[in-house]
Structure 1
């Protein structure tokens, strides 16, 4: 079996080289790839981020966030790679605006390679601005090239199974409007059944919802505690030595006067 690091980075660098040839005419100079778990970011490009220790050379950084690999389809993650390649293209052959701003030149190049810039990730969103994402143009250059790349073999073979247990909303994954998909989408190429059977993946455990907690009462002293549903009769008041009852089931009974002796 290949070393996992070699396999992962070979796949990413191979995709970069493939899209460089197919979408950028081989113009891009290469870069150093990193995996970064940066909140609310699918990836980023940082020019001249690395220098050789001896001063002989420098490299741009192109980062992808592995926390999203399981929740987005492979082609979506690869579209993030190309999104960052467009930033690199502009750094060398265009005129970038201030840091973080996606200008009209960047937007035009994005559309030319088959990715429609949109601040919402949906049709009709703004094409340029500070916070930008995109969607794949069906039948466009990226769409065609990506299908060819995926048909050639494995890609993004390693996923973060811890991240798979974290529920993620469509809005977080795709932008404010979300995307028509399941509430917590997972890339359909991932063999969930096999991972679960092998004991490598456990279902996500939702955080306790205060709405699911119940109040329990001691029928004598009215001591109150909170707990999960179903504890009625199973927990008790040590002072009164009585079982505690779900407050919703507790009925206050007024004392009835004793019957007079006849």
Structure 2
């Protein structure tokens, strides 16, 4: 008899394989699919985040926020595919800076049946730092997703869902919210009066003085400085 953990993560891996075949022509490399909570994020992709102990080869990670599992299979499945597009762009395209969604990303999303939207609704911006999406009726994603409800694909339905109910799992915080809540200097200014935005691969943002060395415990990677985002007198 399979254990609970084995069943849960085996299903996630098989879902990745299914959408890889249906939407990406099996182009994507094998990837570790994980469940982990990240405040205000439905999911994230981290390139080469895992390394083999014996062989030394590296694998990407796609992580889904388990809180989004209560929002319906269509949403969190599309979140998985959204992150798979990030993986496709890393392996075959030209990704922009960390967590930025450029025109190439938007085009690939639409090609596989997801409409990028900053609001998650029609009319939202297709490119930007914070990006949600919605499903395109008649698009490849919904066709593939709806096939899972048939009897021969029941094994692809996740056996355990998060019991916690959430309204929305996407990063919809404003830049002002980020500056106030995630600053590394909550009470004082740097000597220059300027603060710089630092970012990590999973999308966390921190504002602080120049020259900081920061490490993200979520994705186990260093923050990098974004010199294009400098603010004066944020306190």
Tell me the TM-score normalised to structure 1 length: 0.62
Bigger fraction of residues in strand: 2
Q: Aligned with 1:84: secondary structure?
A: helix
Give ranges in structure 2 of 5+ residues lacking alignment. 173-235
**Deviation for aligned residue 1:173:** 4.1
Partner of 2:80 in structure 1? 81
**CA RMSD across the alignment:** 1.5
Q: Which runs of 5+ in 1 are unaligned?
A: 177-262
- Alpha carbons 2:42, 2:65 under 8 Å: kept: yes
1:203-253 Cα offsets, whole Å, 9 max, x none, are xxxxxxxxxxxxxxxxxxxxxxxxxxxxxxxxxxxxxxxxxxxxxxxxxxx
Aligned 8 A contact 1:51 1:57 in 2: yes
Given that residues 67 and 169 in structure 2 are in contact (C-alpha distance below 8 angstroms), is that contact kept between their aligned partners in structure 1? no
Please say if 1:38 is aligned against 2:38.
yes
Which position in structure 1 is the counterpart of 2:190?
none
Match of 2:9 in 1: 9
* Residues 155-186 of structure 1 deviation map (CA, whole Å, 9 limit, x = unaligned): 1221222x23xxx33xx34686xxxxxxxxxx
Q: Cα distance, 1:67 vs. partner?
A: 1.6
- Per-residue displacement from partner, 1:4-52 (whole Å, max 9, x unpaired)? 1111111111111111111101100011121101111111100000111
Work out whether residues 113 and 140 of structure 1, in 8 Å CA contact, stay in contact via their aligned partners in 2.
yes
**Cα 1:117–1:26 shift into 2, 3 Å:** same
2:45–2:63 Cα contact (<8 Å) kept: yes
TM-score, L = length of structure 2 = 0.68
Structure 1 runs of 4+ aligned residues shifted over 3 Å read 172-176
Matching of residues 105-254 of structure 1 within 5 Å: 105-151=104-150, 152-154=153-155, 155-161=157-163, 163-164=164-165, 168-169=166-167, 172-173=168-169
Output the CA distance in 2 between the equivalents of 1:174 and 1:87.
Answer: 16
User: Considering only CA atoms, is the larger Rg found in Structure 1 or Structure 2?
Assistant: 1
